[in-house]
Amino acid sequence: MPGKKKTEYYGVKEIARRANVSIATVDRVIHNRTGVAAKTRDRINEIIKELDYEPNILASRLASRRVFHFATLIPEVSEETDFWQAPLNGIRQAEKEIKQYGVNVEKYFFDLNNKASFVKEAGAILKSNADGVLVAPSFIEESVQFAEACKLRGIPYVFINSDIPNQDSLCYIGPDLFHSGYLGARLVSYGAGNGKVLVVNISREMDNHHHLLRKEEGFRAWFRDHGKLNTILKSDIRQTDYTSVERNLSALLKQHRDVNAIFVTNSRVSAVAQYFERSGAKNDLLLVGYDFLEKNISFLEKNLIDFLICQKPEEQGYRGIRALYQSQVLASPVEKIHFMPIDIITKENYKVYKN
């Protein structure tokens, strides 16, 4: 309508402004998800009805007949990388919700132990002329190159799970890596006493910007900020098979018998727990690691893992696709950084937790 101010255009942002709530809250109401107070939900629905919001979107999308093509690039799901099933579930849920508006989501997968597979799939996405990309930047250098190629082509991209500094992404959705490690140190301190603490990174990739090292940075900062004088040992295990983990841990713990706590910076904490189970070496050692996975939960039940730090991977995948939809289809701004909550899972509360 002529004369209307830009801020009065109908859309999610306008509904949120009128209801004095966040865009995320409006999104939950539109898609009938929980977590919104009844009074707030009623107010948002009144505004949606007043603006005739949903019919307007659907009508304009159908009238244009344009199909938006989004692409996702995440690790393939395997026994070793089953963490990625959760983000994939979130991606599929978002796809189901927005496909009626002419949005197609093409999924590409790479081998987490093979840089070449990432480069190959990234090249395929660039050739597909995608309108937006969701990417898990597991290989830093290759991810930077892909991000720069997307920028040259005007393709917006969203990072999930781990961020890369100084990149012009549409947004980042995932954990605050530094504070995640900071929390890990607090948990470890409960069992460390004055003894040594061991940080274990189990990954084939380990350069200066790797997300595991940013967790380690936060971990060390907590001990420094709190004046703790514990010796912090470190083990970078670059072969991810169990035999390599067992060999490294066995040698290190034999040399340092006064280690009281271990912090594993990713979901491969299960390999350390498996070593404890087979060797009987855990004793009073405190073990902290990451992610709500079936094998991790089994070790949590056996008291071989004491704490798991979890950061909503399914929601990361879901929000990543929704961010592309909001930006490209609705032409609405998105939140530049959305940190996931840092949840602490124990044997006592895991049964009521949802990833």
| DSSP secondary structure, 20-49, as one string | TS-HHHHHHHHTT-S-S-HHHHHHHHHHHH
Give pLDDT tens digits for 48-75.
877 766 545 655 655 566 789 999 999 9
Could you list the residue range(s) of the whole structural domain that residue 43 is in? Answer: 6-61
Q: Is 208 helix (H, G, I), strand (E, B) or coil?
A: coil
CATH code for the domain of 317: 3.40.50.2300
Same domain, yes or no, for 160 and 227?
no
Same domain, yes or no, for 203 and 128?
no
CATH code for the domain of 22: 1.10.260.40
Alpha-carbon distance values, 116 to 111, 122, 142, 206, 209 (Å): 9, 10, 9, 17, 19
Answer whether residue 46 is part of any domain.
yes
Same domain, yes or no, for 197 and 295?
yes
Give pLDDT tens digits for 38-48.
999 999 888 88
Quick check: 280 pLDDT over 60? yes
Which residues on neighbouring strands pair with residue 198, listed in sequence order?
233, 262
Give pLDDT tens digits for 222-259.
999 999 999 999 999 998 899 999 999 999 999 999 99
Average pLDDT, the chain: 89
Same domain, yes or no, for 143 and 289?
no
Strand order in the sheet with 343-345: 232-237, 196-202, 259-264, 286-290, 307-310, 343-345
* 17 — pLDDT class (breaks 50, 70, 90): confident
Predicted pLDDT of residue 1: 39
Answer whether residue 354 is part of any domain.
no
Same domain, yes or no, for 29 and 122?
no
Same domain, yes or no, for 158 and 216?
no
Same domain, yes or no, for 298 and 318?
no
User: 343-345 and 307-310: which strand pairing?
Assistant: antiparallel
Same domain, yes or no, for 42 and 109?
no
Q: How far apart are the first and last CA of the chain?
A: 44
pTM for the structure as a whole: 0.80
Domain count, the chain: 3
Same domain, yes or no, for 306 and 329?
no
Same domain, yes or no, for 181 and 266?
yes
Answer whether residue 349 is part of any domain.
no
Give pLDDT tens digits for 143-201.
999 999 999 999 999 999 999 888 999 999 999 999 999 999 999 999 998 899 999 99
Residue 51's CB is within 10 A of a number of other CB atoms, namely 15
Give pLDDT tens digits for 300-345.
999 999 999 999 999 999 999 999 999 998 888 899 999 999 999 9
Answer whether residue 347 is part of any domain.
no
Answer whether residue 1 is part of any domain.
no
Q: Using the 3D structure, point to which of 61, 81, 104 is the last residue of a domain.
A: 61
Same domain, yes or no, for 45 and 96?
no
Answer whether residue 134 is part of any domain.
yes
Weakest mean pLDDT among 7-21, 22-36, 62-76, 235-249: 7-21
Pair 216, 252: CB distance under 8 Å: no
